[in-house]
Amino acid sequence: MSVHEQFAEDLALYALGTLPGGERLALEKHLEGCASCRRELEVVRGDLAVVALTANGPRPPARSRQRLVSAIAKEPRTSVAPAAAAARTEPSRTFAWWGVLGWAAALGLVLVAISLMRTNSALERNLASLKAQFGDQEAKLRQANDILATLIDPEAKKIELVAAGSKPQPRGKAIYRRQSRGLIFLASSLPQLPPEKIYELWLFPADGGAPIAAGLFRPDSRGNATVVNPPLPEGVEAKNFAVTLEPESGSHESPRGTAVIVGAGE
Amino acid sequence: MTAIRPLCTVALRVLQETSAAEDVLQDIFMQLWRNPGAFDASRGNMGAWLAVIARHRAIDALRKRKPEDDFENVVVSVEPDLASDADRSRAMAKVKEAFEWMSAQQRAALEMAYFEGLTHAEIAEKTGEPLGTIKTRIRTGLLSLRKVLAA
């Protein structure tokens, strides 16, 4: 035997796993640098493995397998990919794996299926939850659309209520939300447009900047008109709104005509 | 399946309790499941490697201590690999012969160390013999085993 004699007895105990702490550490240190003692250790372990492999005893009870099934089902196997890669490059090793593990490997396949089923159930629950959320959002959206449709539908009956006995005057109401650049403008009793003229809505910024064009519009035969969400620059705080009568052609970048209605702001 | 059975036997021989042996085997297979790369062909024969791991883990469980060996550090050399029933039958006969060749004291010391996980100090205390004598008996017992297995 090529093993260092002074370590031979400790090596036997180490292979048995019964060498106590201090001696164990000393031997492990020696093993790090001694290939012949490492080789001897492998052989002694092999001999001891033969003793184990030739021992006859009871078969593992069926419940062991069931326990393993349950335990593995509870945790996803994270290293499937490296194992698969190894399988591609070293088929003989993979064969040994499956051959030796036998039932455990077969169980693995079953467990992957179980795991997939569980994942599938979780996804189905998520889908149901999303469907419920979507249904809720859809109902809210439908409600908002109904409100908007009522407000802007040219066919909707729009009646302005004024002081009894007085004549309706041109009026407008602008509802503006800076964060979303949302603007709804409703006008009533506007005079009919002269030829080659058009109404234009303007936003007057709170910072005193130049008025911003907020949409051209023509009222219906009763003087009603709406402007909904015209394109506006981002984040502009509005101080006021006004409607002017502008030439139909030419630039509409800045007010040129006379004001028809002007807001007071808030 | 036949490869699993000896693992169960050795764990049971060490622990003397089925549920504890099951725990050990389950722990080993769970670790392999989580990290199949812990074993590769360079560590030797898979069955032998598992047998060594199972026995060590059973002793760790018996002594209620943390596992002292990492899977990755255990290398086992077995010839032939005992994959076939014929190889296994021959090996069984040889192991039986080796134990018969040992003196009663050698056999007792080796069995106490192997199946009960006792340290040489514990065996010395149990048998009332000197520490050095027990160490020598275990080693010479293993040498006898080697001699017969290699024949």
* CB within 8 Å: B26 and A52: no
pTM above threshold 0.95: no
Q: Left (φ > 0), alpha (ψ -120 to 50) or beta: where does A253 sit? A: alpha
The answer on pLDDT for A118 being more than 70 is: no
Report how many domains make up chain B: 2
* CB within 8 Å: A38 and B75: yes
- Rg of chain A over Cα atoms, rounded to whole angstroms, equals 43
B-chain residue closest to A91, CA distance: B41
pLDDT per residue as tens, chain B (151 positions): 445 677 778 888 888 888 888 888 888 877 777 776 666 666 667 777 888 888 888 888 888 776 666 666 676 666 666 667 777 788 888 888 888 888 899 899 998 888 888 888 999 999 999 989 998 999 899 988 888 888 7
Interface of B with A in 91-130 (CB under 8 A): 91-92, 94-95, 113-114, 117-121
Closest partner CB to B77 (pick from A43, A58, A75): A43
ipTM, interface predicted TM-score of the complex: 0.83
Tell me, yes or no, whether B145 and B102 share the same domain.
yes
Q: Please, are residues B109 and B123 in contact by the beta-carbon 8 Å criterion? A: yes
Residues of chain A positioned with their CB less than 8 A from the CB of B137: none
* CB within 8 Å: A96 and B46: yes
Q: Does B8 touch chain A (CB under 8 A)?
A: yes
Q: What is the pLDDT of residues A153-187, one digit of tens each?
A: 777 777 778 888 888 889 999 999 888 888 999 99
Tell me, yes or no, whether A69 and A96 share the same domain.
yes
Assess if residue A187 is contained within a domain: yes
Q: What is the domain extent for residue A188?
A: 171-262
Tell me, yes or no, whether B89 and B130 share the same domain.
yes
Strands A258-262 and A197-205: unpaired
* CB within 8 Å: A55 and B6: yes
Tell me, yes or no, whether A50 and A123 share the same domain.
no
Q: How far is CA A164 from CA A189, B96, B137, in A?
A: 16, 120, 122
Run of H or E including B58:
helix B46-62
- Among A248, A245, A249, A244, CA closest to A263: A244
Residues of chain B positioned with their CB less than 8 A from the CB of A57: 5-6, 8-10, 12-13
- Tokens at B123, concatenated: 């065996």
A-chain residue closest to B20, CA distance: A64
